[in-house]
């Protein structure tokens, strides 16, 4: 499966000068109308890689995690590119074309992002508010804008075909959202909490390399644009039975992470919680520790260990080893005894191709019942 970032060379950067525009691009797309998508950003990293992004708040551009991050493929320690190495142009109708230039001051990556899993977004924080009007992310209650079967608009500066050329004009196309169970048939193991699929069964229209981080636009009831996803990856480009995979930006996990950093990047929720009544003076409630009424079975599954050899997975509860998942196995089940909530520690021990041993420890609270 290929990430949809493109490598820029002198030849591709000069393509707009020496080569006529391809008839279609983004794979199966068309040239955008002048000024149609001012919030779409051309993102160039280190002068060598190209991605697409979307201005979602005056000082925030959303792009792909694999565009903004230096994250390694094994350990969840997301680190962004140095801001000085990222160039952002808003509203450009061609790669490196004229538009509003923006300076990146910092990069934010979801803490659980791995190059081989979901949560494939990064936030480029600008040093000052852009003059361009942002396109916000759909809030809670706006799920109708990205329901299965709904036609969405993809926009980007990506290749015209798999292993093809970068177009000399921003491209757009329409693709339908695919239901999660149908997408799972094409991509088993997809993380549908942070990923969503869009495309046609027969292929032919899709995002491609260079479109990474680019918008998957839905529409509000009034017809205005709202951001529901960002281009992530896929098996090739526009292949039959292999739709595009997009970061599920408008669903709770990624949406609320973004809202916590930039509240003005997300639409107001459709149904706000009722106002909290003013408390009346009286005795304070007694808080008792929660207990687990019965044992709970916990399944630990390891997926997509990439470019390394899994040595072991150790499951510990309150420091006590319950089980060890040995190399060659991918799943184990343990029974957590009833009682007070407890912390479960899952420790992955891996050996890289270089011979170096690396550990990745995850902790979470769990309660039976």
Domain of residue 156, CATH code: 2.40.10.10
Rg of the chain over Cα atoms, rounded to whole angstroms, equals 23
Residues 219 and 336 in one domain: no
Which conformational region is residue 163 in: left (phi greater than 0), alpha (psi within -120 to 50 degrees), or beta? left
Residues 205 and 352 in one domain: no
Q: Is 122 a catalytic residue?
A: no
Count CB atoms within 10 A of the CB of residue 239. 17
Q: What mean pLDDT do residues 56-61 have? A: 98
User: Between these two residues, 79 and 349, which has the higher pLDDT value?
Assistant: 79
Residues 30 and 134 in one domain: yes
Q: What mean pLDDT do residues 175-199 have? A: 95
User: Between these two residues, 22 and 1, which has the higher pLDDT value?
Assistant: 1
Catalytic residue, from 212, 232, 251, 267: name it: 212
Residues 188 and 77 in one domain: yes
Does the pLDDT value for residue 88 go beyond 90? yes
Picking from 336, 354, 50, the residue whose alpha carbon sits closest to that of residue 212 is 50
Residues 28 and 109 in one domain: yes
Instruction: Give residue 54's pLDDT.
Output: 98
Residues 321 and 206 in one domain: no
Residues 29 and 144 in one domain: yes
Residues 130 and 18 in one domain: yes
Report the b/e string of 113-130 with b at 16+ CB within 10 A: bbbbbbbbbbbbbbeeeb
Does the pLDDT value for residue 39 go beyond 50? yes
Instruction: Give residue 361's pLDDT.
Output: 59
* pTM value > 0.75: no
- Quote the number of domains for the chain: 2
Residues 251 and 316 in one domain: no
Tell me the C-alpha distance between 41 and 38, whole Å: 8
Residues 108 and 255 in one domain: yes
User: Between these two residues, 356 and 191, which has the higher pLDDT value?
Assistant: 191
In a domain, 274, yes or no: no
In a domain, 169, yes or no: yes
Tell me the C-alpha distance between 214 and 156, whole Å: 6
For residue 349, what are the β-bridge partners? 312, 359
In a domain, 280, yes or no: no
Identify the band that residue 12 occupies on the pLDDT scale cut at 50, 70 and 90: very low
In a domain, 335, yes or no: yes
Q: Which strand (E) or helix (H) includes residue 216?
A: strand 215-219
Instruction: Give residue 3's pLDDT.
Output: 59
Per the CB < 8 A criterion, the answer to whether 276 and 308 are in contact is no
In a domain, 29, yes or no: yes
In a domain, 220, yes or no: yes
Q: What mean pLDDT do residues 66-84 have? A: 73
Tell me the C-alpha distance between 215 and 227, whole Å: 7
Instruction: Give residue 332's pLDDT.
Output: 55
Does the pLDDT value for residue 46 go beyond 80? yes
Q: What mean pLDDT do residues 256-282 have? A: 73
Q: Please give the C-alpha separations between residue 132 and each of 91, 94, 156, in angstroms, as whole numbers.
A: 8, 17, 18
Q: What mean pLDDT do residues 272-296 have? A: 41
Q: Is 232 a catalytic residue?
A: no
Identify the band that residue 294 occupies on the pLDDT scale cut at 50, 70 and 90: very low
Q: Where in the sequence is the domain holding 255, given as residue range(s)?
A: 2-265
Q: Give the end of a domain, one of 249, 265, 281.
A: 265
Residues 64 and 197 in one domain: yes
In a domain, 190, yes or no: yes
Picking from 363, 344, 345, 355, the residue whose alpha carbon sits closest to that of residue 311 is 355
The DSSP code for 161 is S
Maximum CA pair distance of the chain?
A: 79
Catalytic residue, from 31, 96, 120, 206: name it: 120
Residues 21 and 162 in one domain: yes
Q: Is 354 a catalytic residue?
A: no
Q: Give the end of a domain, one of 224, 246, 265.
A: 265
In a domain, 138, yes or no: yes
CATH number of the domain encompassing residue 353: 2.60.40.10
Count CB atoms within 10 A of the CB of residue 306. 13
Catalytic residue, from 31, 66, 207, 232: name it: 66
What average pLDDT does the chain have? 77
Q: Give the end of a domain, one of 210, 242, 265.
A: 265
Instruction: Give residue 118's pLDDT.
Output: 87
Does the pLDDT value for residue 301 go beyond 70? no
Does the pLDDT value for residue 286 go beyond 80? no
Tell me the C-alpha distance between 67 and 46, whole Å: 11
Tell me the C-alpha distance between 26 and 52, whole Å: 12
Percent of the chain with pLDDT over 90: 52
The DSSP code for 83 is G
Identify the band that residue 69 occupies on the pLDDT scale cut at 50, 70 and 90: confident
Percent of the chain with pLDDT over 70: 63
């Amino acid at each position: 499966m290929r990430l949809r970032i493109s490598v820029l060379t002198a030849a591709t950067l000069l393509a707009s000068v020496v080569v006529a525009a391809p008839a279609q691009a983004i794979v199966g797309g068309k040239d955008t109308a002048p000024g149609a998508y001012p919030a779409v950003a051309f993102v160039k990293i280190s002068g060598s890689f190209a991605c697409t992004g979307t201005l979602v708040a005056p000082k925030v551009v959303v792009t792909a995690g694999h565009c903004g991050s230096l994250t390694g493929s094994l350990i969840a320690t997301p680190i962004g590119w140095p801001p000085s190495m990222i160039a952002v142009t808003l509203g450009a109708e061609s790669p490196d074309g004229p538009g509003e230039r923006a300076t990146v001051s910092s990069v934010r990556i979801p803490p659980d992002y791995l190059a081989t899993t979901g949560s494939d977004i990064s936030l480029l924080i600008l040093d000052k508010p852009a003059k361009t009007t942002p396109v916000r992310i759909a809030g809670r209650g706006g799920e109708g804008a990205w329901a299965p079967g709904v036609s969405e608009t993809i926009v980007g500066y990506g290749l015209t075909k798999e292993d093809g050329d970068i177009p000399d004009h921003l491209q757009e196309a329409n693709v339908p959202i695919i239901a999660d169970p149908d997408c799972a048939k094409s991509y088993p193991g997809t993380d549908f909490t942070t990923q969503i699929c869009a495309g046609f069964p027969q292929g032919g229209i899709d995002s491609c390399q260079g479109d990474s981080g680019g918008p998957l636009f839905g529409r509000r009831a009034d017809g205005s644009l709202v951001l529901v996803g960002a281009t992530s990856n896929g098996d090739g480009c526009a292949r039959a039975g292999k739709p595009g995979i997009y970061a599920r930006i408008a669903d709770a996990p990624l949406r609320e992470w973004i809202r916590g950093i930039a509240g003005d990047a997300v639409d107001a929720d459709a149904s706000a919680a009722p106002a909290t009544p003013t408390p009346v003076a009286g005795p304070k409630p007694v808080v008792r520790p929660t207990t687990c009424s019965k044992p709970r079975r916990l399944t630990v599954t390891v997926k997509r260990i990439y470019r390394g050899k899994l040595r072991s997975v150790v499951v510990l509860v309150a420091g006590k080893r319950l089980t060890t998942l040995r190399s060659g196995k991918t799943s184990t089940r343990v029974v957590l005894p009833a009682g007070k909530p407890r912390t479960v520690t899952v420790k992955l021990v891996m050996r890289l191709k270089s011979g170096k041993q690396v550990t990745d420890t995850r902790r979470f609270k769990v309660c039976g019942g």
